[in-house]
Amino acid sequence: MSKLRPQDAERRAQRPDSANFSEALARGLSVITAFDDERRRMTLSDVARAVDLPRATVRRALATLVGLGYVEVEGRLFRLTPRILKLAAAYLSSNTVSSILQPVCERLCQQVGASCSVAVLDGDEAVMIARAVPARPPSVGLGVGYRLPAFCSALGRALLSGMADEDLDAYLARLQPWRATRQTVIAKPEIRRAILDVRKKGYALVDQEAEVGIRSIAVPLRRFDGKPVAALNIGVQPEQVPARTMIGEYAPLLLQEAVALQEQLV
């Protein structure tokens, strides 16, 4: 077993259940998540830099993943294989929220002729767990598993609005806003106001703050006991649907769905 680096040992010691924490599993997962749309194929050295781990550690992790069929190697380049989708499929098939809401997304998409998504909060990001798009080709990468920064996206603000005040304060304290587009709001007082505004209005409307060319409206989804578990949104291109239409027509539609779904979400 390889010896932990001092910084890794310190992080492990700070974990509440450090005695049962598997460093090897954590490292393997970090290697998997190092691959993305900008790093689809990497050398051993590339991966080691991306995850900030010793080459020997990364070599063992990659060899294990290759042996299990989750990674393949061609020459010096490693890349994920389709088998990695089994990990996502395990979540989607066992999560009642995604299984219940995928048909809802498809119905809403057909009804309004625009993309419809459901997301949950994962750290500081909103990650899509259900999505439907019109018949025209969707944007590359915008599907289940796609992530958006929570602070500047409609899905994210709808999710953040369900936080308790102390949790929201802690989130904003650690947040380091950045400009995803020229229209992204990065002043923390304004971000707080936007999130609190969702609590009052029941919906979040974001115009090209998270992505250029996307105007989105979202509502929080609560389970039977009132706890927020996800967010539901409709996204359009700004030139297709004006903001007043989204507020006047789409917001009531989404809010109606949220009420109807509450008893189904556990």
pTM of this structure: 0.75
72 plus 106 within the same structural domain: no
Name the token pair of 199. Answer: 């609590």
89, part of any domain: no
65 and 157 in a single domain? The answer is no
* C-alpha span between 222 and 265 (Å, rounded): 7
In a domain, 266, yes or no: no
Question: pLDDT of 174-200, one tens digit each?
Answer: 999 999 999 999 999 999 999 999 999
Rounded CA-CA distance 211/223 in Å is 29
Do 108 and 191 belong together in one domain? Answer: yes
Half-sphere exposure of 64 (CA within 13 A, CB side): 13
Residues 198 and 101 in one domain: yes
Residue 136: which CATH number? Answer: 3.30.450.40
User: Domain tally for the chain?
Assistant: 2
Residues 6+ apart with CB under 8 A from 261: 100, 101, 104, 221
Q: Is the pLDDT of residue 99 over 90?
A: no
Tens-place pLDDT, residues 196-255: 999 999 999 999 999 999 999 999 999 888 888 999 999 999 999 999 999 999 999 999
In the predicted structure, residue 138 carries a pLDDT above the cut 50: no
Q: What is the mean pLDDT of the chain?
A: 89
Give the domain extent around 113: 95-261
Helix (H, G, I), strand (E, B) or coil at 217: strand
Domain assignment present for residue 87? The answer is no
Q: How far is CA 51 from CA 27, 126, 204, in A?
A: 8, 22, 35
Which 3 state secondary structure label does DSSP give 76?
coil
How far is it, in rounded angstroms, from Cα 266 to Cα 263? 8
Kindly report the backbone phi and psi dihedral angles of residue 262, in degrees, each rounded to the nearest multiple of 5, phi listed first: -55, -40
Among candidate residues 119, 121, 96, 144, the one with its CA nearest the CA of residue 263: 96
Q: Are residues 107 and 57 in the same domain?
A: no
Hey, what are 51's tokens?
């995850």
> Given pLDDT bands bounded at 50, 70 and 90, which one contains residue 1?
very low
208 found inside a domain: yes
* 9-59 residue pLDDT tens: 555 555 556 677 888 898 999 999 999 888 999 999 999 999 999 999 999
pLDDT value of residue 98: 75
pLDDT band at 141 (very low <50, low <70, confident <90, very high): very low
Between strands 147-149 and 125-132, the pairing is antiparallel
Report the amino acid identity of residue 178.
W
